[in-house]
Structure 1
Amino acid sequence: MKYMLLVCGDDTADASGMAPVEPWVEEHGVRRAERLYGHRLRLPAEAVTVRVRDGEVLRTDGPFAETKEYVAGFDVVDCDSLEEAVEIAARHPVATIGAMEVRAFWDGITEDAETGIRRIDAELTEAARERDIDRMMACYAPDVEVFHLVTGEEQAGIGALRKALEGWFSPLTGPVHREVLELRVRPGEGSAFSHALVRMRGTRVTGEPLDRLVRVTTGYRDAGFQWLIAHEHVSVPPETPVAGERS
C-alpha cells in the first residue's frame, strides 16, 4: 500500500545536528525499493494560496496558515502496513527536529501503472477489431500528441487523432486484427512508458490484404482515476517486410 510522508519542518528548530537525508534516501529508495518518489519543497513564504469564492479566484501570497511548522517536502513509500510506514518515517532525519505525518493513499481509486497500461493495450486491441473509434479515443488524453505512421506528421489533440484514425480505417473493410508480439512496460510515478511490437492485419476494400508490423512507443499520464495515453510514436522497424502496402 502507498503512503505519503509529509516532512514537516520547524523554522525555529536548530538543524545543525541533524543527520543528512541522503543516506535515508539511499537505504529506502535504492536498497529496499520502498521509497517511490519524493522531493524537497520551497519555503512557505514563496507559496501561493488559492481559494474560489462565488466564482471568483482569490490568490494570496504565502502559506495557508501562519505557523512555525510547515511542509518542507514529501516522500511516497510503498509498504505492507501502516506500522512499516511509521518505522520508515521514524528513520527520516527530519523526524529528530520536526515531524513526519504519515497518510495512506485512498485504496482502490487509482490503478498502478503496469495494470493501467496493460488494460489500455487490451482495450485498443478489442476496439480495433470492432473498428470502434470512440472506444479507442477513450484511451487517450484530450491533449495527446501522436506521430502517425501513415502521414509521418504530428497530430496534436484528440480531434486531430480521431480524424487520422478515421482516415486509416476508411480504406479497410471488416475487423482489424491487432496482435501485440512484444510489450515492455516502464512504470513510473505520474507517468510511464511502453515499447511494443504490434502486427496489424486486415482487408482493404479492394480485397488486398493489409499486414503491417509497427513499433509503438507510448507515453502515459496518470489522470487521477485511470491512466491515459499522452504521447504515441508509431514507426516501421528497419528491414521489416510489409505486405499489402504500396511504396
Structure 2
Amino acid sequence: MKYLVMIQGTQADYEAMGGKPSAHSPAWSEQDLQAMFAFMGAVNADLVESGELVDGQGLTEPARARTVSAGPDGRPLITDGPYGETKEVLAGYWVLDCESLERVTEIAARVASCPAPEGAAQYPVVIRPLQDADGGPA
C-alpha cells in the first residue's frame, strides 16, 4: 500500500535554518544543518535500498509559495506567501510503498527523531494512505 508521509514547518523554521533566530526557533549552525542533511540522506538511502521509496522531496520556504483560488467572479485570486494566518505548512514529504501501516509508522518514528538544535520546534510526522482512482487503497 502507498502512503504519504509528511513533515511540517513554518517560515520561522526556514529562517532559523538560514541562521536567523526567532522566539519560535533558535538559529541553526552549519553543524546542525549538516547533521539534519546526513540523517535525512541516510533515511532516503535506506528507503531506496528497501524498495519502499516512490518519491520524496523537501519543499522551499513558505515565502516562496503561491495560493490560487476562485474569486467571487470565477476569476483566479492569486496570493504569494508567506501567510500570517498559517501556522505550519508542508515542509517535505515521502511517497512510500510499504507492506503495512506498522511499517510506515516505524519509518515515521525514525523521521521524527531527526536531529535539530536544542529549543527547535518539534512537529508530528503525518501519515496518510493514498487512494487509487477508484477510491480504494493505492
TM-score bracket, normalised by the shorter chain, equals 0.5 to 0.7
| 5+ residue gaps, structure 2 | 14-23, 116-121
Aligned to 1:81: 100
Residue identity over aligned pairs, in percent, reads 34
Hey, what's the Cα distance between the residues in 2 that align with 1:71 and 1:56?
26
Aligned match for 1:103, one of 107, 124, 128 = 128
Q: Secondary structure at the match of 1:106?
A: coil
What is the TM-score when the length of structure 1 is the normalising length?
0.39
Which residue does the alignment assign to 2:68?
A: 50
How many corresponding residue pairs? Answer: 108
Q: For the residues of structure 2 that align with 1:50 and 1:104, how far apart are their CA atoms?
A: 26
Q: What CA deviation, in whole Å up to 9, does each residue of 1:57-114 have, x standing for no partner? A: 10111156421x221111100012222211111111566633211111114538xxxx
Q: Does 1:40 pair with 2:40?
A: no
- Corresponding residue for residue 20 of structure 2: none
> 2: CA distance between counterparts of 1:78 and 1:13?
33
Q: Specify which structure has the bigger relative contact order, considering alpha-carbon pairs within 8 angstroms and separated by 6 or more residues.
A: 2
Where is the strand percentage greater, Structure 1 or Structure 2? 1
User: Which 5+ residue runs of structure 1 have no aligned equivalent?
Assistant: 111-247
Q: Distance in 1 between matches of 2:64 and 2:112?
A: 24
Question: Is 1:91–2:91 an aligned residue pair?
Answer: no
Distance 1:87 1:61 in 2: 36
Structure showing greater Rg: 1
Contact 1:94/1:100 (<8 A) preserved: no
Normalising by the residue count of structure 2, what TM-score does the alignment of the two structures yield? 0.66
Is residue 61 of structure 1 aligned with residue 86 of structure 2?
no
Q: Which runs of 4+ in 1 moved over 6 A?
A: none
